[in-house]
Structure 1
């Protein structure tokens, strides 16, 4: 079976989320829990305006989830540690059989809490990919590679973006080499060309980060083009990182041999919060059927970012949701969602 991960812009059958139910994601006060539930619910309900949505909730929290979710959202139950389904769920692929038929597959990466971080737990979440694969009726494509869905972006035509600080992380895959990763990505998601970015954003590289997920950095709005996080303020350390990323992408070619068109997506003007430099990123959006669910930050650049996204995804409605409560917990809208592609007719 030849597996291929479709572009996020291809038609979806549905989007999956997981419901916050414990730990730092939910928070340790009633106000924090309310904030988490409202933002997760807002994202799920917004996506449900465009396509079917299934939310996985811990059995003890399913009734709570139902109070925040519209009647259009399906709820399923499974034990959970956390709520970042982009990373704990499967990456869906489509397989072509020798006789020409196609089937849905689900790559179940090995998950170890973003590199065995001391603040993470994953006894339940490491099993979630297989559970969702079964519910989706997908053939499992098991992988020994420690990886997360937020650590890869594909153009649907054989090109994958990734970062050297994630797949080559010694706490994830000790001793692994670039070619080992590329061979496994070719097997599981059909990646013929890997474009390695040197690192992630500053805050995402600190103690409570992922060590460099690409879905804060860059994505493909269409094959041959890349939306790139651009920090224009030299007072933020990500300014130098943006320059590094632009240099690497400028010299790269995709699986079809094309030089990449770089579309800058300027970062919000706000540089810091109570914890330090922010990693707010408009790149961390979700493309849905007929729409784009975008991150907002109550920032002067929100409107400009929405305009850039509308031009990058013509014909799609851009819906902006305040994502500051998500980023305060370590991620954004793309991080809490996982698309399931529709099989071609």
Structure 2
């Protein structure tokens, strides 16, 4: 593969580098937001709050379904750039592109194949499969089309050659049937410019229910800086994610990055709440945060551990404001703050 981003000098920078803007997608009428336990209005309130918070620190471009640009104003007071494009859903981390830079002032993007998180029964992606290409065109980036089904929530990089992923996403038969770990690693090397892949076995328990992603990494582990990984832990042994966290901690503490460094692993405990109004085990996680210019937008859950973890993030990201935003409505629909945002690095 010669005509790939890595071959032409591009790689995915870490999320904490300076951004040109943040991309988001506005909730539209679909099964995600209009099921028995969901509500489009409340989803728009939650998405709007995230957009407003980020817009205080950097420009936000909101992709809105065709004919729905006027629906933003009741929810967002801060000026945004609004563009209309056909949408199925509002998880732009996954349907959007992964932006890349080459260190010489050029912007590119990986356009993964998007198929509704492994062709799940509840998902629709006739429109969203084109979202990445449309965002790339709007951004002016050079487009590289990958042959792999992947989502932005399924990868997390340190900007120095290391990526974390999960087996249940990358090797999902609904995504990449017949692919091996070697196949996945080769594609990630070619399209992200990475050298080392850290495999985690699975995601959080709730993530395998309806509206789940089957194990995205961005809810269980993330880099805070090169050599430092944040790991979701569930202190309560009554919750099945207690074992998931223990397994991931053990693996990460024995792992090294692309530079050969042993990882420093910081435990980020889950909120104290265990179940979501009788709907099952929650997958509430502070890992699913977004690093913007001058700020960290951190999921809040009206929980005693909100402030505890905010203090931890303040130490991890010195010089950035820690903005706690209630993310319970976002999680009720299947994701978190990181899942509804996508950074475009400044070049």
Tell me what 1:118 maps to.
121
Q: Distance in 2 between matches of 1:201 and 1:31?
A: 21
Q: Name the TM-score, length of structure 2 as normaliser.
A: 0.96
Q: Distance in 2 between matches of 1:30 and 1:239?
A: 26
Q: Distance in 1 between matches of 2:31 and 2:335?
A: 12
Per-residue deviation, residues 223-249 of structure 1 (Å, max 9, x unmatched): 000011010100000000001001110
Q: Distance in 2 between matches of 1:165 and 1:120?
A: 18
Deviation at 1:28, TM superposition (A): 5.2
Q: Structure 2 residue aligned with 1:132, among 126, 135, 144?
A: 135
Q: Distance in 1 between matches of 2:307 and 2:158?
A: 26
Q: Distance in 1 between matches of 2:42 and 2:255?
A: 41
Distance 1:254 1:312, change over 3 A: same
Q: Distance in 2 between matches of 1:26 and 1:178?
A: 35
Structure 1's unaligned 5+ residue stretches are none
Q: Name the TM-score, length of structure 1 as normaliser.
A: 0.96
Q: Distance in 2 between matches of 1:275 and 1:149?
A: 27
Contact 1:200 1:212 (C-alpha < 8 Å) held by counterparts: yes
Instruction: Note if 1:318 corresponds to 2:322.
Output: yes
Contact 1:108 1:129 (C-alpha < 8 Å) held by counterparts: yes
Per-residue deviation, residues 42-75 of structure 1 (Å, max 9, x unmatched): 0001000000000000022211013322342111
Q: Structure 1 residue aligned with 2:167, among 151, 164, 174?
A: 164
Q: Distance in 2 between matches of 1:61 and 1:25?
A: 17
Structure 1, 64-73 or 299-308: larger mean CA deviation: 64-73
Per-residue deviation, residues 6-26 of structure 1 (Å, max 9, x unmatched): 000000000000000022333
Q: Distance in 2 between matches of 1:194 and 1:30?
A: 38
Deviation at 1:173, TM superposition (A): 0.2
* Coordinate RMSD, CA, aligned: 1.3
Would you say how many aligned residue pairs link Structure 1 and Structure 2? 339
SS of corresponding position for 1:17: strand
Contact 1:25 1:83 (C-alpha < 8 Å) held by counterparts: no
Tell me what 1:87 maps to.
94
Tell me what 1:265 maps to.
268
Moved over 4 A (4+): 28-31
Q: Distance in 1 between matches of 2:33 and 2:206?
A: 20
Contact 1:3 1:187 (C-alpha < 8 Å) held by counterparts: no
Q: Structure 2 residue aligned with 1:186, among 183, 186, 189?
A: 189
Per-residue deviation, residues 156-178 of structure 1 (Å, max 9, x unmatched): 00000000000110110001011
Instruction: Note if 1:33 corresponds to 2:43.
Output: no
Contact 1:24 1:329 (C-alpha < 8 Å) held by counterparts: no
Tell me what 1:104 maps to.
107
Tell me what 1:292 maps to.
296
Instruction: Note if 1:239 corresponds to 2:245.
Output: no
Q: Distance in 2 between matches of 1:293 and 1:279?
A: 18
Structure 2's unaligned 5+ residue stretches are 1-7
Contact 1:66 1:75 (C-alpha < 8 Å) held by counterparts: no
Distance 1:25 1:208, change over 3 A: closer
Contact 2:271 2:301 (C-alpha < 8 Å) held by counterparts: yes
Instruction: Note if 1:155 corresponds to 2:158.
Output: yes
Per-residue deviation, residues 306-327 of structure 1 (Å, max 9, x unmatched): 1111111111000001000000
Q: Distance in 2 between matches of 1:33 and 1:130?
A: 26
Q: Structure 2 residue aligned with 1:208, among 203, 211, 217?
A: 211
